């Protein structure tokens, strides 16, 4: 039985623009979220998302269905993000002010509390800055798997398909990434304690 998505894919392969636009509508938020999670920049994430859909449009005729369409799309998205990260390797820009788009909608990076005090807000902002900075310090390989697993919620199997490597390697990279993140955060904590606790 053919699904609606399969029908759209087949029509897109034959050049049906309307079918391709429906595919874009289905996946554009998820593609943007992956890009934003990896790049931490709204404009770059938008640019990469557009680039991904251009790549998909040009190569959809070659999609053979060996993996699911979403896995193929997310692999292309991840590779496009890695390309962008390589381009700007010497520039580590992390924005803490931009909103995050999830499939369920847009969320402001500020943690919402019923009645947050200014002190709590300041502490939360500082914590976000520290975590974002720590994630930005991870290698591309580690940042990719942490983002896909912890921020996007993909399973090990899905990550394996997206980045095209064995599940064991994915698990190993995630463990190493978590360990590296823990060490970065621990060193930041030690610096904080040294500066503020006398």
Q: Structural domain boundaries of the chain?
A: 4-196
pLDDT tens per residue across span 93-145: 445 555 556 566 665 555 444 556 777 777 777 777 777 788 888 898 998 89
Query: What stretches of the chain show up as alpha helix (H) in DSSP?
Result: 4-13, 17-39, 42-59, 69-87, 118-137, 140-146, 156-163, 167-196
Q: CA-CA distance, 168 to 155, in Å (whole number)?
A: 12
Q: Is the pLDDT of residue 2 over 50?
A: yes
Its pTM stands at 0.58
Half-sphere exposure (Cβ direction) of 143: Cα atoms closer than 13 Å: 24
pLDDT of residue 47: 92
pLDDT mean over 132-159: 86
pLDDT tens string 28-65:
999 999 898 888 888 899 999 999 999 999 999 988 88
CATH of 4-196 among 3.30.70.3400, 1.10.1740.10, 3.60.20.10, 1.10.10.10 = 1.10.1740.10
pLDDT of residue 113: 42
At residue 90, the pLDDT reads 52
Q: How far apart are CA 144 and CA 146, in angstroms?
A: 6
pLDDT of residue 95: 54
What is the average per-residue pLDDT within 74-85?
A: 89
Could you count the other beta carbons within 10 Å of the beta carbon of residue 174?
A: 18
CA atoms within 13 A on the CB side of 152: 25
Q: What is the DSSP string of 96-153?
A: SSS-EEETTEEE-SSPP-SS--HHHHHHHHHHHHHHHHHHHHS-HHHHHHHIIIIIS-
C-alpha dihedral, 85 to 87 to 89 to 95, nearest 10°: -60
State the average pLDDT for the chain.
81
Contact of 39 with 45, CB cutoff 8 Å: yes
pLDDT higher than 60, residue 197: no
CA separation for the pair 14, 12 (Å, rounded): 5
């Amino acid at each position: 039985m053919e699904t609606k998505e399969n029908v759209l894919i087949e029509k897109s392969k034959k050049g049906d623009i309307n079918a391709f636009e429906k595919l874009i509508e289905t996946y554009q938020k998820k593609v943007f979220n992956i890009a934003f999670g990896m790049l931490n920049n709204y404009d770059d994430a938008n640019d990469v998302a557009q680039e991904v859909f251009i790549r998909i449009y040009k190569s959809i005729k070659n999609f053979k269905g060996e993996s699911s369409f979403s896995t193929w799309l997310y692999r292309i998205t991840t590779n496009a993000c890695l390309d962008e990260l390589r381009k700007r390797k010497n520039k580590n820009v992390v924005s803490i002010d931009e909103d995050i788009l999830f499939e369920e909608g847009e969320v402001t990076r500020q943690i919402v509390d019923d009645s947050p005090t200014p002190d709590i807000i300041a502490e939360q902002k500082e914590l976000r800055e520290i975590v974002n900075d720590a994630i930005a310090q991870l290698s591309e390989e580690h940042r990719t798997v942490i983002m896909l697993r912890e921020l996007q919620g993909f399973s090990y199997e899905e990550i394996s398909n997206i980045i095209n490597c064995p599940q064991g390697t994915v698990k190993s990279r995630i463990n190493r990434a978590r360990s590296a993140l823990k060490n970065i955060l621990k060193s930041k904590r030690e610096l904080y304690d040294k500066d503020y606790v006398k």
